[in-house]
């Protein structure tokens, strides 16, 4: 069967190659006639027929580091071939600025993918939608309902309650295991961060609708994790479309099943919110804080009769899914790396704890009003995102017309990858770029922030496609990290250093769990739990 599948694959691939080679030849001729004097972007050597440079991605090195090594050889701007797709790779701040600022409008679109089609309700997912009128309308709504300072403030109670509940859960676990002794308890903090981020995001999107029962709630969380995994998977037919009918790896089948499982739950929540909204003309303030209800209301107001070919349900479900993918995974990734770095650098951890005690004290948890004073903590998070950006390669962009980048002509339809990891480890910008030095954001780099205007540090991206949840994400990460290192001491249970291996995927997860010995730092009253 393996030989048969290989034979079919080769036949299909050859057909695909002949077809697309012809189309590419025609398109190249058009571009050459339009830009006879333009320079062609250098292409990395080693491209093979049909697959291009895809074979390079099958090695043990994660893609952002592989492309970083290629940038050392070919320069800060070069192209590669991923199947039939030509991809522009930029690897320094100057080239990133040209793409995401100077040519922001040109590169504002997204390429098509199987995941966006099957799990994003046929591109109703605004984060992965092409740069069309629908995307522009949805962007306005998301800015108002998630990204504005007013909305971030309104959601404060969710962040606060979820963080406090999770902090207390660790204490209860410690009590059960040690019966109040001063010993430690082992906790997988990567898993803990993941559950906290997921619970927080679910409440932001759906409010208090999570009356599913423990089994169904676990099923939902597993479904969401599957969605996150599938969005980051390499799908062969995205590179060579003619292979889609083979469904190599079973991705199409899995995506359809996962999307259906997610819809079963979310359809029930949609109906609940519709019933609540129909019972009163004026929704209460609490209802407005739920993203799903806000979307139902906003879409009705803003879109009028034109839904751009989508149903209201499809738009709401796809948008909620986009929030899950953007918020849950990236927050977990950043906090896991941050704590791993702190435990590996106990002097930095101690300094952060002392800053919190100075401004908060030892008798209460950190409140959001305290965060503005915790500048060293903010520097730690900035340095973590510099060293381990949650998305080390930008979500792909696609050019909608010819443009000039770095003096080279970039044809319409070219895909763009910004190597954020390489930019944020550039030795020409960052002294000791591989060292964990939060102090740099209080001294030599104190003017640099992560909000998309300083291209030396763009973990959230930049331009029209910048992450719209920056303010919410920063508040959540600061609140979680401040409270957990204030409430607990952490120690590595192993004699060797913490494993800092990175994993493959859309987001840059720590490849292994982060199991640490945890012990409370304060007396029982701090945790408001009876012994």
d(CA 123, CA 121): 6
d(CA 331, CA 170): 19
d(CA 119, CA 198): 19
Instruction: Give the H/E segment covering residue 352.
Output: helix 346-360
Whole-angstrom CA distances from 132 to 103, 129, 137, 293, 400 are: 16, 8, 9, 25, 11
- Map 78-113 to HEC letters: EEEEECCEEEEEECCHHHHHHHHHHCCCCCCECCCC
CB 394 within 8 A of CB 417: yes
Say whether 320 counts as a known binding-site residue.
no
CB 77 within 8 A of CB 95: yes
| Residue of 350, 432, 343, 345 whose CA lies nearest to 387 | 432
266: number of Cβ within 10 Å: 21
Instruction: Give the H/E segment covering residue 518.
Output: strand 515-520
List the 488-491 sheet strands across, edge first: 185-188, 515-520, 488-491
- Map 108-174 to HEC letters: CECCCCHHHHHCCCCCCCHHHCCCCHHHHHHHHHHHHHHHCHHHHHHCHHHHHHHHHHHHHHHHHHH
Residue keyed to tokens 């998301």: 142
Strand-strand pairing, 397-398 and 515-520: unpaired
- Name the token pair of 135: 């995307």
DSSP summary character for residue 249: G
Please list the residues that pair with 85 across neighbouring strands: 82
- Name the token pair of 230: 């599938």
87: number of Cβ within 10 Å: 21
d(CA 156, CA 298): 22
List the 403-405 sheet strands across, edge first: 39-40, 408-410, 403-405
Residue keyed to tokens 């003309």: 281
Residue 403, classed as helix, strand or coil, is: strand
Whole-angstrom CA distances from 81 to 29, 48, 76, 159, 271 are: 18, 9, 17, 43, 46
- Name the token pair of 480: 């979680």
Which segments are annotated as binding site?
467
Which segments are annotated as binding site for heme?
467
């Amino acid at each position: 069967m393996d030989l048969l599948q290989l034979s079919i694959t080769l036949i299909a691939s050859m057909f695909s190659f002949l077809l697309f080679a012809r189309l590419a030849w025609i398109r190249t001729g058009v571009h050459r006639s339009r830009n006879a004097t333009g320079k062609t972007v250098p292409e990395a050597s080693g491209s093979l027929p049909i697959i291009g440079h895809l074979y390079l991605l099958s090695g043990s090195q994660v893609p952002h580091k592989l492309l970083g090594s290629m940038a050392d050889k070919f320069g800060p701007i070069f192209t590669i071939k991923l199947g039939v797709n030509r991809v522009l790779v930029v690897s320094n701040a100057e080239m990133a600025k040209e793409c995401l600022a100077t040519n922001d409008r040109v590169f504002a679109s997204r390429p098509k993918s199987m995941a966006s089609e099957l799990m994003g309700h046929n591109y109703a997912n605004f984060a992965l939608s092409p740069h069309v009128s629908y995307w522009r309308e949805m962007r306005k709504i998301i800015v108002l309902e998630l990204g504005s300072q007013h909305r971030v403030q309104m959601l404060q109670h969710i962040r606060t309650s979820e963080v406090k509940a999770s902090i207390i859960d660790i204490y209860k676990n410690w009590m059960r295991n040690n019966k109040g002794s001063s010993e430690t308890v082992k906790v997988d903090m990567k898993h803990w961060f993941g559950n906290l981020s997921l619970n927080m995001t679910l409440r932001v999107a759906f409010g208090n609708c999570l009356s599913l029962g423990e089994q169904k709630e676990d099923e939902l969380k597993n479904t969401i994790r599957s969605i996150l995994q599938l969005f980051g998977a390499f799908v062969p037919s995205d590179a060579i479309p003619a292979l889609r009918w083979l469904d190599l790896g079973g991705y199409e089948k899995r995506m359809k099943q996962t999307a259906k499982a997610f819809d079963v739950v979310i359809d029930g929540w949609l109906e609940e919110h519709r019933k609540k909204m129909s019972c009163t003309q004026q929704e209460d303030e609490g209802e407005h804080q739920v993203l799903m209800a806000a979307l139902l209301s906003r879409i009705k107001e803003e879109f009028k009769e034109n839904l751009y070919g989508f149903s209201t349900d499809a738009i709401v479900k796809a948008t909620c899914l986009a929030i899950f993918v953007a918020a849950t995974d990236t927050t977990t990734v950043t906090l896991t790396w941050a704590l791993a770095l702190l435990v590996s650098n106990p002097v930095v951890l101690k300094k952060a704890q002392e800053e919190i005690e100075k401004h908060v004290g030892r008798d209460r948890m950190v409140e959001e009003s305290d965060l503005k004073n915790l500048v060293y903590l903010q520097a730690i998070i900035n340095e973590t995102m510099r060293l381990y950006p949650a998305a080390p390669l930008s979500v792909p962009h696609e050019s909608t017309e010819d443009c000039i980048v770095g003096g080279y002509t970039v044809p319409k339809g070219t895909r763009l990858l910004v190597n954020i990891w390489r930019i944020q480890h550039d030795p020409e910008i960052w002294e000791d770029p591989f060292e964990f030095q939060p102090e740099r954001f209080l001294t030599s780099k104190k003017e640099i922030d992560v909000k998309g205007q300083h291209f030396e540090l763009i973990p959230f991206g930049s331009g029209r496609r910048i992450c719209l949840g920056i303010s919410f994400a920063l508040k959540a990460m600061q609140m979680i990290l401040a409270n957990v290192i204030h409430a607990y001491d952490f120690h590595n249970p192993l004699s060797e250093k913490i494993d800092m291996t990175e994993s493959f995927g859309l987001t840059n997860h720590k490849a292994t769990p982060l199991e640490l010995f945890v012990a409370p730092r304060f007396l029982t009253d701090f945790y408001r739990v009876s012994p």
